[in-house]
Structure 1
Amino acid sequence: MKKNKYLVQAALIAAIYATITIILAPISYGEIQVRVSEALTVLPYFTPAAIPGLFVGCIIANIYGGQGMIDIVFGSLATLLAAILSYKANKKILVPLPPVIINGIIIGFILNYLYSIPLFMAMLWVSIGQLIACYGIGYPLMKTLEKYKENIFG
Protein backbone atom coordinates (compact mmCIF):
# COMPACT_ATOMS: atom_id res chain seq x y z
CA MET A 1 0.00 0.00 0.00
CA LYS A 2 2.81 2.40 0.90
CA LYS A 3 4.58 1.76 -2.41
CA ASN A 4 1.38 2.50 -4.34
CA LYS A 5 0.91 5.76 -2.46
CA TYR A 6 4.52 6.78 -3.23
CA LEU A 7 4.08 6.02 -6.95
CA VAL A 8 0.77 7.87 -7.15
CA GLN A 9 2.20 10.93 -5.40
CA ALA A 10 5.26 10.94 -7.68
CA ALA A 11 3.12 10.53 -10.80
CA LEU A 12 0.73 13.31 -9.78
CA ILE A 13 3.60 15.69 -9.03
CA ALA A 14 5.22 14.86 -12.39
CA ALA A 15 1.95 15.44 -14.24
CA ILE A 16 1.24 18.73 -12.47
CA TYR A 17 4.81 20.02 -12.99
CA ALA A 18 4.79 19.15 -16.71
CA THR A 19 1.28 20.52 -17.25
CA ILE A 20 1.96 23.87 -15.58
CA THR A 21 5.24 24.26 -17.46
CA ILE A 22 3.71 23.46 -20.84
CA ILE A 23 0.56 25.56 -20.32
CA LEU A 24 2.75 28.52 -19.37
CA ALA A 25 5.30 27.77 -22.11
CA PRO A 26 5.83 31.41 -23.15
CA ILE A 27 7.34 32.18 -19.74
CA SER A 28 8.65 28.68 -18.92
CA TYR A 29 11.36 28.51 -21.60
CA GLY A 30 13.91 30.80 -23.18
CA GLU A 31 16.48 33.39 -22.24
CA ILE A 32 14.35 35.04 -19.55
CA GLN A 33 11.99 32.69 -17.79
CA VAL A 34 9.84 32.23 -14.72
CA ARG A 35 8.97 28.57 -14.61
CA VAL A 36 5.96 28.75 -12.30
CA SER A 37 6.00 24.96 -11.89
CA GLU A 38 9.25 25.37 -9.95
CA ALA A 39 7.02 26.45 -7.04
CA LEU A 40 6.42 22.71 -6.64
CA THR A 41 10.05 22.23 -5.65
CA VAL A 42 8.91 22.79 -2.05
CA LEU A 43 7.07 19.45 -2.14
CA PRO A 44 10.09 17.36 -1.03
CA TYR A 45 9.53 19.02 2.36
CA PHE A 46 6.33 16.94 2.59
CA THR A 47 7.15 13.73 0.74
CA PRO A 48 10.22 12.08 -0.76
CA ALA A 49 7.96 11.04 -3.67
CA ALA A 50 8.33 14.61 -4.89
CA ILE A 51 11.97 13.94 -5.81
CA PRO A 52 11.29 11.52 -8.69
CA GLY A 53 8.03 13.34 -9.43
CA LEU A 54 9.78 16.65 -10.05
CA PHE A 55 12.54 14.93 -12.03
CA VAL A 56 10.15 13.09 -14.36
CA GLY A 57 7.90 16.16 -14.71
CA CYS A 58 10.92 18.24 -15.68
CA ILE A 59 12.05 15.65 -18.24
CA ILE A 60 8.60 15.73 -19.87
CA ALA A 61 8.48 19.54 -19.79
CA ASN A 62 11.99 19.82 -21.24
CA ILE A 63 11.18 17.37 -24.04
CA TYR A 64 8.26 19.63 -24.95
CA GLY A 65 10.37 22.78 -24.60
CA GLY A 66 12.44 22.04 -27.68
CA GLN A 67 15.82 23.13 -26.32
CA GLY A 68 17.33 19.76 -27.16
CA MET A 69 19.15 17.03 -25.31
CA ILE A 70 21.36 19.37 -23.31
CA ASP A 71 18.29 20.82 -21.58
CA ILE A 72 16.50 17.48 -21.30
CA VAL A 73 19.51 15.87 -19.61
CA PHE A 74 21.23 18.64 -17.65
CA GLY A 75 18.15 20.78 -16.95
CA SER A 76 16.34 17.75 -15.55
CA LEU A 77 19.37 16.64 -13.54
CA ALA A 78 19.50 20.16 -12.06
CA THR A 79 15.91 19.73 -10.88
CA LEU A 80 16.73 16.29 -9.47
CA LEU A 81 19.72 17.62 -7.51
CA ALA A 82 17.73 20.62 -6.26
CA ALA A 83 14.86 18.34 -5.15
CA ILE A 84 17.25 16.12 -3.19
CA LEU A 85 18.82 19.12 -1.48
CA SER A 86 15.39 20.63 -0.72
CA TYR A 87 14.39 17.33 0.88
CA LYS A 88 17.48 17.48 3.09
CA ALA A 89 16.99 21.16 4.08
CA ASN A 90 16.86 21.39 7.85
CA LYS A 91 14.92 24.66 8.04
CA LYS A 92 11.65 25.48 6.34
CA ILE A 93 12.94 28.81 4.98
CA LEU A 94 15.81 26.96 3.24
CA VAL A 95 13.61 24.45 1.36
CA PRO A 96 13.12 26.71 -1.72
CA LEU A 97 16.79 27.77 -1.85
CA PRO A 98 18.45 24.80 -3.62
CA PRO A 99 16.38 25.21 -6.82
CA VAL A 100 17.30 28.90 -6.92
CA ILE A 101 21.02 28.22 -6.63
CA ILE A 102 21.30 24.97 -8.61
CA ASN A 103 19.12 26.12 -11.50
CA GLY A 104 20.71 29.56 -11.50
CA ILE A 105 24.07 27.93 -12.12
CA ILE A 106 23.20 24.95 -14.35
CA ILE A 107 20.42 26.53 -16.42
CA GLY A 108 22.57 29.66 -16.65
CA PHE A 109 25.29 27.55 -18.30
CA ILE A 110 22.73 25.93 -20.60
CA LEU A 111 21.32 29.29 -21.71
CA ASN A 112 24.85 30.62 -22.18
CA TYR A 113 25.61 27.66 -24.43
CA LEU A 114 22.33 27.69 -26.37
CA TYR A 115 21.84 31.43 -26.82
CA SER A 116 25.34 32.89 -26.32
CA ILE A 117 24.04 35.02 -23.46
CA PRO A 118 26.82 36.28 -21.19
CA LEU A 119 27.12 33.66 -18.45
CA PHE A 120 26.65 36.04 -15.52
CA MET A 121 23.52 37.54 -17.07
CA ALA A 122 22.05 34.10 -17.83
CA MET A 123 22.66 32.97 -14.24
CA LEU A 124 21.23 36.20 -12.87
CA TRP A 125 18.03 36.03 -14.94
CA VAL A 126 17.44 32.36 -14.13
CA SER A 127 18.05 33.01 -10.43
CA ILE A 128 15.58 35.90 -10.42
CA GLY A 129 12.96 33.72 -12.13
CA GLN A 130 13.63 30.97 -9.62
CA LEU A 131 13.31 33.39 -6.69
CA ILE A 132 9.91 34.46 -8.01
CA ALA A 133 8.72 30.86 -8.49
CA CYS A 134 10.28 29.23 -5.43
CA TYR A 135 9.97 31.93 -2.79
CA GLY A 136 7.23 34.11 -4.29
CA ILE A 137 4.88 31.22 -5.06
CA GLY A 138 6.44 28.07 -3.58
CA TYR A 139 7.05 29.28 -0.05
CA PRO A 140 3.45 30.50 0.44
CA LEU A 141 2.31 27.21 -1.12
CA MET A 142 4.41 25.33 1.42
CA LYS A 143 2.92 27.32 4.30
CA THR A 144 -0.60 26.61 3.02
CA LEU A 145 0.02 22.90 2.43
CA GLU A 146 1.48 22.57 5.91
CA LYS A 147 -2.02 23.14 7.33
CA TYR A 148 -3.35 20.16 5.33
CA LYS A 149 -0.29 17.91 5.11
CA GLU A 150 -1.87 14.98 6.95
CA ASN A 151 -4.85 14.98 4.60
CA ILE A 152 -2.76 15.39 1.44
CA PHE A 153 0.49 13.58 2.13
CA GLY A 154 -0.37 11.67 5.34
Structure 2
Amino acid sequence: MKTKSLVTNAIVAALYVAITGILAPISFGALQFRVAEIFNHLIIFNRKYLWGIVGGVFISNLFFSTMIGYDLVFGVGHSLVSLVVASGLMRKKLNLNIWVKFSFNTLVFTVFSALIAWELYLAFSVPFWFGYLTVGIGELGIMAVGAPLMMFLDKKIHFSERIGSE
Protein backbone atom coordinates (compact mmCIF):
# COMPACT_ATOMS: atom_id res chain seq x y z
CA MET A 1 0.00 0.00 0.00
CA LYS A 2 1.47 3.34 -1.01
CA THR A 3 1.87 6.19 1.46
CA LYS A 4 -0.92 8.29 -0.08
CA SER A 5 -3.35 5.39 0.14
CA LEU A 6 -2.27 4.54 3.69
CA VAL A 7 -2.66 8.13 4.93
CA THR A 8 -6.02 8.57 3.18
CA ASN A 9 -7.34 5.36 4.71
CA ALA A 10 -6.10 6.45 8.14
CA ILE A 11 -8.07 9.69 7.74
CA VAL A 12 -11.20 7.78 6.69
CA ALA A 13 -10.84 5.44 9.67
CA ALA A 14 -10.32 8.39 12.04
CA LEU A 15 -13.40 10.19 10.69
CA TYR A 16 -15.46 7.00 10.98
CA VAL A 17 -14.33 6.55 14.60
CA ALA A 18 -14.92 10.20 15.51
CA ILE A 19 -18.46 10.27 14.10
CA THR A 20 -19.35 6.91 15.63
CA GLY A 21 -17.90 7.94 19.00
CA ILE A 22 -19.71 11.27 19.09
CA LEU A 23 -22.97 9.57 18.12
CA ALA A 24 -22.36 6.35 20.08
CA PRO A 25 -25.81 6.31 21.75
CA ILE A 26 -27.49 5.93 18.36
CA SER A 27 -24.71 3.94 16.68
CA PHE A 28 -25.21 0.64 18.50
CA GLY A 29 -28.07 -1.69 19.45
CA ALA A 30 -31.27 -2.96 17.83
CA LEU A 31 -32.34 0.57 16.87
CA GLN A 32 -29.24 2.09 15.35
CA PHE A 33 -28.42 4.89 12.99
CA ARG A 34 -24.68 4.73 12.52
CA VAL A 35 -24.14 7.95 10.59
CA ALA A 36 -20.53 7.02 9.77
CA GLU A 37 -21.92 4.30 7.49
CA ILE A 38 -22.09 6.93 4.75
CA PHE A 39 -18.37 6.28 4.32
CA ASN A 40 -19.32 2.90 2.86
CA HIS A 41 -20.08 4.80 -0.34
CA LEU A 42 -16.37 5.58 -0.76
CA ILE A 43 -16.02 2.09 -2.25
CA ILE A 44 -17.83 3.42 -5.32
CA PHE A 45 -15.00 5.85 -6.01
CA ASN A 46 -12.12 3.48 -5.34
CA ARG A 47 -11.97 0.02 -3.80
CA LYS A 48 -8.81 0.98 -1.88
CA TYR A 49 -11.09 2.76 0.61
CA LEU A 50 -12.09 -0.67 1.94
CA TRP A 51 -9.21 -0.64 4.43
CA GLY A 52 -10.08 2.73 5.95
CA ILE A 53 -13.74 1.83 6.29
CA VAL A 54 -13.11 -1.59 7.83
CA GLY A 55 -10.42 -0.11 10.08
CA GLY A 56 -12.86 2.57 11.26
CA VAL A 57 -15.52 -0.03 12.02
CA PHE A 58 -13.02 -2.19 13.90
CA ILE A 59 -11.70 0.67 16.04
CA SER A 60 -15.20 2.06 16.69
CA ASN A 61 -16.48 -1.32 17.80
CA LEU A 62 -13.39 -1.92 19.92
CA PHE A 63 -13.68 1.37 21.83
CA PHE A 64 -17.39 2.21 21.89
CA SER A 65 -19.35 -1.04 21.76
CA THR A 66 -20.86 -2.56 24.88
CA MET A 67 -20.58 -6.00 23.26
CA ILE A 68 -17.08 -5.81 21.84
CA GLY A 69 -16.61 -9.49 20.98
CA TYR A 70 -19.82 -9.74 18.99
CA ASP A 71 -19.32 -6.39 17.26
CA LEU A 72 -15.76 -7.18 16.26
CA VAL A 73 -16.94 -10.36 14.54
CA PHE A 74 -20.36 -9.42 13.18
CA GLY A 75 -19.99 -5.65 12.71
CA VAL A 76 -16.59 -5.86 11.04
CA GLY A 77 -17.78 -8.93 9.13
CA HIS A 78 -20.84 -7.05 7.87
CA SER A 79 -18.69 -4.21 6.57
CA LEU A 80 -16.05 -6.43 5.03
CA VAL A 81 -18.50 -8.78 3.30
CA SER A 82 -20.67 -5.91 2.05
CA LEU A 83 -17.70 -3.92 0.73
CA VAL A 84 -16.17 -6.92 -1.03
CA VAL A 85 -19.49 -7.98 -2.60
CA ALA A 86 -20.45 -4.46 -3.68
CA SER A 87 -17.03 -3.55 -5.09
CA GLY A 88 -16.68 -6.93 -6.79
CA LEU A 89 -20.05 -6.78 -8.50
CA MET A 90 -19.75 -3.11 -9.47
CA ARG A 91 -16.32 -3.75 -10.92
CA LYS A 92 -17.79 -6.16 -13.43
CA LYS A 93 -20.06 -3.37 -14.75
CA LEU A 94 -17.76 -0.34 -14.82
CA ASN A 95 -20.10 1.64 -17.06
CA LEU A 96 -22.91 1.83 -14.48
CA ASN A 97 -24.35 5.25 -13.71
CA ILE A 98 -23.04 6.65 -10.39
CA TRP A 99 -26.57 6.77 -8.93
CA VAL A 100 -27.08 3.11 -9.85
CA LYS A 101 -23.85 2.35 -8.01
CA PHE A 102 -25.03 4.29 -4.95
CA SER A 103 -28.35 2.44 -5.03
CA PHE A 104 -26.68 -0.93 -5.47
CA ASN A 105 -24.23 -0.26 -2.65
CA THR A 106 -27.09 0.81 -0.37
CA LEU A 107 -29.00 -2.37 -1.22
CA VAL A 108 -25.98 -4.61 -0.56
CA PHE A 109 -25.35 -3.06 2.86
CA THR A 110 -29.03 -3.26 3.75
CA VAL A 111 -29.32 -6.92 2.72
CA PHE A 112 -26.19 -7.92 4.62
CA SER A 113 -27.58 -6.20 7.73
CA ALA A 114 -28.88 -9.70 8.39
CA LEU A 115 -25.46 -10.35 9.97
CA ILE A 116 -26.15 -7.64 12.56
CA ALA A 117 -29.64 -9.03 13.14
CA TRP A 118 -28.07 -12.43 13.78
CA GLU A 119 -25.62 -10.81 16.21
CA LEU A 120 -28.49 -9.14 18.11
CA TYR A 121 -30.32 -12.46 18.25
CA LEU A 122 -27.27 -14.27 19.66
CA ALA A 123 -26.27 -11.51 22.10
CA PHE A 124 -29.65 -10.26 23.32
CA SER A 125 -32.26 -12.71 22.00
CA VAL A 126 -33.72 -9.93 19.84
CA PRO A 127 -36.04 -11.73 17.39
CA PHE A 128 -34.12 -12.04 14.14
CA TRP A 129 -36.73 -10.45 11.85
CA PHE A 130 -37.31 -7.55 14.24
CA GLY A 131 -33.56 -6.91 14.45
CA TYR A 132 -33.21 -7.22 10.69
CA LEU A 133 -36.06 -4.78 10.14
CA THR A 134 -34.78 -2.15 12.57
CA VAL A 135 -31.10 -2.39 11.62
CA GLY A 136 -31.98 -2.65 7.93
CA ILE A 137 -34.13 0.48 8.08
CA GLY A 138 -31.33 2.36 9.82
CA GLU A 139 -28.75 1.20 7.27
CA LEU A 140 -31.04 1.96 4.34
CA GLY A 141 -31.84 5.42 5.69
CA ILE A 142 -28.23 6.41 6.40
CA MET A 143 -26.95 5.06 3.09
CA ALA A 144 -29.79 6.62 1.08
CA VAL A 145 -29.37 10.04 2.70
CA GLY A 146 -25.59 9.68 2.53
CA ALA A 147 -25.47 9.09 -1.23
CA PRO A 148 -26.26 12.67 -2.31
CA LEU A 149 -23.99 14.00 0.45
CA MET A 150 -21.09 11.85 -0.76
CA MET A 151 -21.78 12.91 -4.35
CA PHE A 152 -21.68 16.57 -3.27
CA LEU A 153 -18.45 16.01 -1.31
CA ASP A 154 -16.89 14.20 -4.26
CA LYS A 155 -17.38 17.28 -6.42
CA LYS A 156 -15.30 19.25 -3.87
CA ILE A 157 -12.82 16.61 -2.69
CA HIS A 158 -12.51 14.21 -5.68
CA PHE A 159 -12.37 10.94 -3.75
CA SER A 160 -10.86 8.93 -6.61
CA GLU A 161 -7.85 11.24 -6.76
CA ARG A 162 -7.31 11.39 -2.99
CA ILE A 163 -6.38 7.76 -2.58
CA GLY A 164 -4.35 7.19 -5.75
CA SER A 165 -4.99 5.04 -8.80
CA GLU A 166 -5.87 1.39 -8.63
TM-score by length of 2: 0.83
Q: After TM superposition, give the deviation of residue 97 of structure 1 in Å.
A: 2.1
Check conservation: 2:17, 2:57, Cα contact below 8 A. yes
Cα contact 2:5–2:163 (8 A) shared by 1: no
Task: For structure 1, list consecutive stretches of 5 or more residues without a partner in the other structure.
Answer: none
Counterpart residue number, 1:47:
46
Q: How many residues align?
A: 151
Classify the secondary structure of the residue corresponding to 1:49: helix
Structure 1 position 3, deviation (Å): 0.6
Q: Which structure 2 residues correspond to residues 90-129 of structure 1 after superposition, within 5 A?
A: 90=93, 91=96, 92=101, 93-102=103-112, 104-129=113-138
Q: Which structure 2 residues correspond to residues 54-65 of structure 1 after superposition, within 5 A?
A: 54-64=53-63, 65=65
Q: TM-score, normalised by structure 1?
A: 0.89
In 2: Cα distance, 1:13 partner to 1:49 partner? 11
- Between the aligned partners of 2:12 and 2:62, the Cα distance in structure 1 is 17
Query: Displacement, 1:19?
Result: 1.1
Deviates more, 1:87-96 or 1:144-153: 144-153
Would the aligned equivalents of 1:42 and 1:86 in 2 still touch at CA under 8 Å? no
Identity %: 32
Q: Where do 5+ consecutive residues of structure 2 fail to align?
A: none
Aligned to 1:140: 148
- Higher relative contact order (CA closer than 8 Å, sequence separation 6+): 2
Match of 1:68 in 2: 68
